[in-house]
Amino acid sequence: MKLSEEWGVLGAYEKFEKIICLVLSFFVALIIVYATYKLGYHIFELFFKKGLDPVEHKSFKIVFGMIMVVLIALEFKHSIVKVIADQESIVQVKTVLLIAMLAISRKMIILDIKTTPAITIFSLAAVLLALGIVYWLMRERDDRLDAPRLEKRGEGV
Protein backbone atom coordinates (compact mmCIF):
# COMPACT_ATOMS: atom_id res chain seq x y z
CA MET A 1 0.00 0.00 0.00
CA LYS A 2 1.35 3.42 -0.96
CA LEU A 3 1.61 6.31 1.46
CA SER A 4 -1.19 8.17 -0.33
CA GLU A 5 -3.48 5.14 -0.01
CA GLU A 6 -2.74 4.47 3.65
CA TRP A 7 -2.83 8.12 4.80
CA GLY A 8 -6.51 7.89 5.76
CA VAL A 9 -5.98 4.93 8.08
CA LEU A 10 -2.96 6.35 9.88
CA GLY A 11 -3.40 7.73 13.37
CA ALA A 12 -2.41 11.27 14.30
CA TYR A 13 1.01 10.27 15.61
CA GLU A 14 1.79 8.10 12.57
CA LYS A 15 0.90 11.03 10.30
CA PHE A 16 3.11 13.31 12.38
CA GLU A 17 5.97 10.79 12.16
CA LYS A 18 5.64 10.52 8.37
CA ILE A 19 5.59 14.32 7.94
CA ILE A 20 8.70 14.74 10.11
CA CYS A 21 10.45 11.98 8.17
CA LEU A 22 9.57 13.67 4.87
CA VAL A 23 10.98 17.00 6.12
CA LEU A 24 14.14 15.30 7.44
CA SER A 25 14.52 13.41 4.18
CA PHE A 26 14.32 16.68 2.25
CA PHE A 27 16.96 18.33 4.47
CA VAL A 28 19.30 15.34 4.24
CA ALA A 29 18.84 15.33 0.44
CA LEU A 30 19.90 18.99 0.38
CA ILE A 31 22.97 18.15 2.44
CA ILE A 32 23.82 15.26 0.09
CA VAL A 33 23.50 17.48 -2.99
CA TYR A 34 25.63 20.21 -1.43
CA ALA A 35 28.26 17.76 -0.15
CA THR A 36 28.45 16.14 -3.59
CA TYR A 37 28.85 19.54 -5.22
CA LYS A 38 31.64 20.47 -2.76
CA LEU A 39 33.30 17.09 -3.37
CA GLY A 40 33.25 17.62 -7.14
CA TYR A 41 34.52 21.17 -6.80
CA HIS A 42 37.27 20.09 -4.40
CA ILE A 43 38.39 17.24 -6.67
CA PHE A 44 38.46 19.59 -9.66
CA GLU A 45 40.45 22.16 -7.68
CA LEU A 46 42.89 19.62 -6.24
CA PHE A 47 43.70 17.76 -9.41
CA PHE A 48 43.26 20.27 -12.19
CA LYS A 49 44.05 23.66 -10.68
CA LYS A 50 46.69 22.65 -8.13
CA GLY A 51 47.97 19.63 -10.03
CA LEU A 52 48.16 17.39 -6.97
CA ASP A 53 48.80 13.70 -7.37
CA PRO A 54 45.64 11.71 -6.57
CA VAL A 55 47.65 9.02 -4.80
CA GLU A 56 49.36 11.54 -2.53
CA HIS A 57 48.42 10.59 1.02
CA LYS A 58 47.05 13.99 2.08
CA SER A 59 44.93 14.44 -1.06
CA PHE A 60 43.64 10.90 -0.83
CA LYS A 61 42.59 11.36 2.81
CA ILE A 62 40.76 14.60 2.02
CA VAL A 63 38.91 13.22 -1.00
CA PHE A 64 38.13 9.87 0.62
CA GLY A 65 36.89 11.62 3.76
CA MET A 66 34.54 13.75 1.67
CA ILE A 67 33.28 10.67 -0.18
CA MET A 68 32.61 8.98 3.17
CA VAL A 69 30.56 12.01 4.28
CA VAL A 70 28.33 11.61 1.22
CA LEU A 71 28.00 7.85 1.82
CA ILE A 72 27.09 8.39 5.47
CA ALA A 73 24.45 10.94 4.50
CA LEU A 74 23.04 8.58 1.86
CA GLU A 75 22.78 5.76 4.39
CA PHE A 76 21.11 8.11 6.85
CA LYS A 77 18.61 9.22 4.19
CA HIS A 78 17.94 5.61 3.24
CA SER A 79 17.01 4.80 6.85
CA ILE A 80 14.57 7.74 6.89
CA VAL A 81 13.04 6.72 3.54
CA LYS A 82 12.41 3.20 4.89
CA VAL A 83 10.27 4.74 7.63
CA ILE A 84 8.34 6.83 5.08
CA ALA A 85 7.81 3.80 2.83
CA ASP A 86 6.48 1.94 5.91
CA GLN A 87 9.01 -0.82 5.58
CA GLU A 88 9.85 -0.08 9.19
CA SER A 89 7.95 1.87 11.81
CA ILE A 90 10.97 3.61 13.32
CA VAL A 91 14.61 4.11 12.44
CA GLN A 92 16.22 0.82 13.39
CA VAL A 93 18.96 0.67 16.00
CA LYS A 94 21.06 -1.54 13.73
CA THR A 95 21.00 1.16 11.07
CA VAL A 96 22.08 3.78 13.59
CA LEU A 97 24.92 1.50 14.70
CA LEU A 98 26.07 1.06 11.10
CA ILE A 99 25.99 4.80 10.50
CA ALA A 100 27.99 5.37 13.69
CA MET A 101 30.54 2.76 12.61
CA LEU A 102 30.83 4.47 9.21
CA ALA A 103 31.35 7.85 10.88
CA ILE A 104 34.05 6.54 13.21
CA SER A 105 35.71 4.67 10.35
CA ARG A 106 35.76 7.91 8.39
CA LYS A 107 37.34 9.69 11.33
CA MET A 108 40.02 7.02 11.62
CA ILE A 109 40.76 7.18 7.88
CA ILE A 110 41.34 10.94 7.89
CA LEU A 111 43.28 11.04 11.17
CA ASP A 112 46.84 12.23 11.06
CA ILE A 113 48.51 9.56 13.15
CA LYS A 114 51.62 11.70 13.57
CA THR A 115 49.77 14.45 15.45
CA THR A 116 46.87 12.52 17.00
CA PRO A 117 47.49 11.28 20.55
CA ALA A 118 47.62 7.51 20.91
CA ILE A 119 44.82 7.59 23.49
CA THR A 120 42.50 9.19 20.92
CA ILE A 121 43.26 6.50 18.36
CA PHE A 122 42.82 3.80 21.00
CA SER A 123 39.51 5.34 22.13
CA LEU A 124 38.14 5.48 18.60
CA ALA A 125 39.20 1.87 18.01
CA ALA A 126 37.56 0.78 21.28
CA VAL A 127 34.31 2.55 20.40
CA LEU A 128 34.35 1.03 16.91
CA LEU A 129 34.96 -2.43 18.37
CA ALA A 130 32.15 -1.96 20.92
CA LEU A 131 29.72 -0.82 18.23
CA GLY A 132 30.71 -3.78 16.07
CA ILE A 133 30.10 -6.22 18.92
CA VAL A 134 26.70 -4.68 19.69
CA TYR A 135 25.77 -4.85 16.01
CA TRP A 136 26.90 -8.47 15.80
CA LEU A 137 24.90 -9.39 18.91
CA MET A 138 21.80 -7.71 17.51
CA ARG A 139 22.18 -9.56 14.19
CA GLU A 140 22.61 -12.84 16.03
CA ARG A 141 19.45 -12.16 18.05
CA ASP A 142 17.49 -11.20 14.94
CA ASP A 143 18.71 -14.31 13.10
CA ARG A 144 17.55 -16.50 16.00
CA LEU A 145 14.17 -14.77 16.10
CA ASP A 146 13.74 -15.04 12.32
CA ALA A 147 14.79 -18.71 12.08
CA PRO A 148 11.44 -20.22 13.21
CA ARG A 149 9.51 -17.87 10.91
CA LEU A 150 11.73 -18.72 7.91
CA GLU A 151 11.47 -22.47 8.62
CA LYS A 152 7.71 -22.16 8.86
CA ARG A 153 7.65 -20.53 5.40
CA GLY A 154 9.96 -23.25 4.06
CA GLU A 155 12.89 -20.90 3.39
CA GLY A 156 15.30 -22.30 5.96
CA VAL A 157 18.38 -20.48 7.17
The model's pLDDT over 68-111, given as tens digits with 9 standing for 90+, comes to: 999 999 988 888 888 777 656 666 788 889 899 999 999 998 88
C-alpha distances out from residue 16 to 22, 81, 85, 105, Å = 10, 15, 14, 34
pLDDT confidence of residue 13 = 81
Residue ranges for the chain with pLDDT beneath 70: 1-6, 52, 54-55, 86-91, 149-151, 153-157
pLDDT confidence of residue 89 = 60
Burial class (CB in 10 A: 0-12, 13-18, 19+), 83: buried
Compute the chain's Rg from CA coordinates. 20
Q: DSSP letter string over 51-62?
A: ---TTSHHHHHH
Nearest to 97 by CA among 105, 108, 85: 105
- One-letter amino acid at 45 equals E
- One-letter amino acid at 65 equals G
